Amino acid sequence: MTTLNPGTLMRSELRHPLIEKVYRGKVRDVYTLTDGRIILVASDRISAFDVVLPRGIPHKGQVLSQLSWHMLGRTAHVAPNWATAQPDPNVVIGHACDTVKVEMVVRGYLAGHAWRTYAEGKRMLCGAELADGLKESDRLPEPIITPSTKADEGHDEDITPDEILARGLCTHEEWDTMRRYALALFAEGSRMAEERGLLLVDTKYEFGRAPDGRILLIDEVHTPDSSRYFHAEGYADRQARGERQKQLSKEFVREWLIAGGFMGKEGQQVPAMDDAFVQSVTDRYVELYERITGERFVPAATDDVNTRIQRALDRSL
């Protein structure tokens, strides 16, 4: 895979005696070590509609990795997680887990996929019932969980809790634990967002089974790839006037693709991503990092990201 943007990391190529296998997801490269740990490298790839777009987004991987590390540390008291170290801005190291093939999507507002489903006239989403008369971006009476299957390839699919248990994707006890953790994490993420003038609209959590049987929060948490945020200031007025909400998320990328006639369906072509659009995506990611953490984003060196990561790992492993 190539990129028109110099200095972007589209594919990591790490070497170490402890590495026994490599899995490349849509945006992350996962290295499994022989000592029971994994290395998660956040690339600068960007995906939408389960398709990896042709151009990389400068600093996106660093934003995702640093924000996730920040959030994993801030939420560890709510749910135990996999992460143990961040030796490089694009890298998190932690415990290897057996992934539960269910994404726990928590929604506090009617937006995105939930709104599109609702607008089609459906009032039941993944076993959660929605009332009549709601508008796009309305706050729900209480957060709901709308799980989806975690596909290794292709599109994830909506699924109900009953279907999850019937298909043996997890046990009753594991479902109860994941549900409890997901709602608690969403409450904590909402509290942190509100401190920074944001509303956590929806997000997804992934969980895994540790070797000792514990359920751990894995992957990223509360990043712009996994979450949608609204600006809190003016939210009520915009809703009352029927205006679109100001948001910080990857949704604007999806909207840009839809406007260009692309929704990931067979035969559709990704619109050309010019430099101005690519820069606007970087700016959005950096804005969310600074808003949610309250810290200034400091870009890491990008002259040779792969070598930089390799050196960091050689020092830490």
User: What structural domains does the chain harbor?
Assistant: 19-97+274-316 (3.30.200.20), 98-248 (3.30.470.20)
Report the distance separating Cα 307 and Cα 182, nearest Å: 36
Residue 155, pLDDT above cutoff 80? no
Coil/strand/helix, residue 247: strand
Question: Hey, how many other C-beta atoms are within 10 angstroms of the C-beta on 1?
Answer: 10
For residue range 254-264, list pLDDT tens digits in order. Answer: 889 999 999 98
Q: Which residues of 73-101 are buried (b: 16+ CB within 10 A; e: fewer)?
A: eebeebbebbbeebbbbbbbbbbbbeebb
- The pLDDT assigned to 225 comes to 82
What's the whole-number mean pLDDT along residues 271-287? Answer: 92
pTM for the whole structure: 0.88
Q: How confident is the model at residue 3 (pLDDT cuts 50, 70, 90)?
A: very low
- The pLDDT assigned to 224 comes to 81
Report the distance separating Cα 143 and Cα 108, nearest Å: 4
Instruction: Write the CB contacts of 200 (distance below 8 Å, at least 6 apart in sequence).
Output: 108, 186, 189, 190, 193, 222, 227, 228, 229
Residue 81, pLDDT above cutoff 80? yes
Q: Are 81 and 194 in contact (CB under 8 A)?
A: no
What's the whole-number mean pLDDT along residues 41-58? Answer: 93
Q: How confident is the model at residue 250 (pLDDT cuts 50, 70, 90)?
A: confident
Residue 6, pLDDT above cutoff 80? no
Residue 255, both tokens: 């909207």
CA angle 21, 27, 31 (to 5 degrees): 20
For residue range 172-221, list pLDDT tens digits in order. Answer: 999 999 999 999 999 999 999 999 999 999 999 999 999 999 999 998 99
- The pLDDT assigned to 1 comes to 34
Report the distance separating Cα 317 and Cα 309, nearest Å: 12
For residue range 170-179, list pLDDT tens digits in order. Answer: 999 999 999 9
Closest CA to 280 of 250, 246, 244: 250
Mean pLDDT of the chain: 93
For residue range 82-101, list pLDDT tens digits in order. Answer: 999 999 999 999 999 999 99
Report the distance separating Cα 300 and Cα 90, nearest Å: 9
Q: How confident is the model at residue 153 (pLDDT cuts 50, 70, 90)?
A: low
What's the whole-number mean pLDDT along residues 48-54? Answer: 89
Closest CA to 226 of 117, 103, 86: 103
- Percentages helix, strand, coil for the chain (3-state, rounded to 5) are 30, 25, 40
